[in-house]
Amino acid sequence: MGSLHGAVALVTGASRGLGAAIAEELGRRGAKVVVNYSGSKEPAEKVAVEISEAEEGGDALTIQADISDPEDAKRLVDETVGRFGRIDILVNNAGINIDRTLKRLSLEEWYKVLQVDLNGCFHTVHAALPYMVEQAFGRIINMSSFVGEAGNVGQANYAAAKSGLFGFTKTAALELARYNITVNAISPGFIETEMVAAIPQSAKEKILEQIPLGRLGKPEEIAKAVRYVVEDADYMTGNVLDINGGVYMR
Ligand code: NAP
């Protein structure tokens, strides 16, 4: 793609954590960014202001939408195109986790995580496809997790959703290559965000022992990988980038 100047990027779940870092990174490179959130209005607005005020920063605006709801996801994509005229980059970052061992996991908790983390990704892709096909251009990035590759005790629902994203990414890449739409996944390890802050301290110490690089990752380290994929990786599709400090190696 080369320069991101003027490119339109929709980042789901961008009010904090990885999504906020990704939105800011793309905005700093001159992209017009839609900062999506479901409930965290003020933090999302702060991210948008940060982008708009950055030197060389692009435009940014916030759009509230729950991507687990297909109609909301469609409205989000349609409003993105309505405001900025096109959609070049779709980063499916929004995600939740409800951790329980299988013995205690309720049906509702299973469905809820699958609905946001896996179905939500399909909802936005489904809505964005007609625009990207028409443009004959698109860069889709799906935020998976090393847990979808390795499994993790207490995360059957999350692991199933994140693992499902790998198959979805590869199939979408095969089907959409002819339209110059690439589809890739990023598979982070443990990154310093609120999602990881919620892990009890004793468990965090055990996690650190398992990470060869000896530390948690930073949101900016994932954001840089997203920038690489959209800016420089035109010949890459159907790929999974593991960015995990070595905690899991395929
Ligand atoms: P986070 O800090 O919990 O942030 C999640 C973001 O998703 C928030 O902006 C939240 O906004 C949004 N969101 C949640 N449900 C949504 C919905 N239904 N519709 C729209 N937005 C929604 O999470 P994070 O740690 O940055 O993780 C971001 C992504 O990376 C997730 O997909 C996660 O699974 C993945 N990941 C994270 C790690 C890690 O170590 N942190 C590792 C591997 C993969 P609201 O508050 O407005 O809902």
pLDDT in tens, 141-179: 999 999 999 999 999 999 999 999 999 999 999 999 999
pLDDT at 250: 83
CA 186 vs. chain centroid, Å, equals 8
- Which atom of ligand 1 lies closest to the CA of 18? 26
Please say if 37 is a catalytic residue: no
pLDDT at 43: 98
- What is the token pair recorded at 36? 């999506």
Burial of 245 (0-12, 13-18, 19+ CB in 10 A): buried
User: Exactly one of 37, 111, 131, 158 is catalytic; which is it?
Assistant: 158
Q: Which fold has domain 8-240?
A: Rossmann fold (3.40.50)
Q: Are 31 and 54 in contact (CB under 8 A)?
A: no
Residue ID of nearest Cα to ligand 1 atom 6: 13
Enumerate residue ranges in the chain where pLDDT < 70.
Answer: none
Q: Is 27 in the pocket of ligand 1 (CB under 6 A)?
A: no
CB atoms within 10 A of CB 86: 16
Where exactly are the structural domains of the chain? 8-240
Q: Are 174 and 243 in contact (CB under 8 A)?
A: no
- Cα–Cα distances (Å) from 19 to 143, 172, 189, in that order, read 10, 22, 15
C-alpha dihedral sign at 190, 194, 199, 201:
positive
3-state secondary structure of 185: strand
Q: What's the rounded Cα separation, in Å, for the pair 124 and 94?
A: 11
Q: CB within 8 A of 33, min separation 6: which ones?
A: 9, 10, 11, 14, 23, 26, 27, 48, 51, 58, 59, 60, 61
pLDDT at 200: 85
Q: What's the rounded Cα separation, in Å, for the pair 84 and 86?
A: 6
pLDDT at 197: 85
pLDDT at 186: 98
Q: Is 93 in the pocket of ligand 1 (CB under 6 A)?
A: yes
Q: CB within 8 A of 250, min separation 6: which ones?
A: 149, 242
pLDDT at 58: 79
* In the chain, beta strands by DSSP E: 8-11, 32-37, 60-64, 89-92, 138-143, 181-188, 240-243
pLDDT digit string, tens, across residues 189-214:
999 998 888 888 888 899 999 999 99
Q: Is 190 in the pocket of ligand 1 (CB under 6 A)?
A: yes
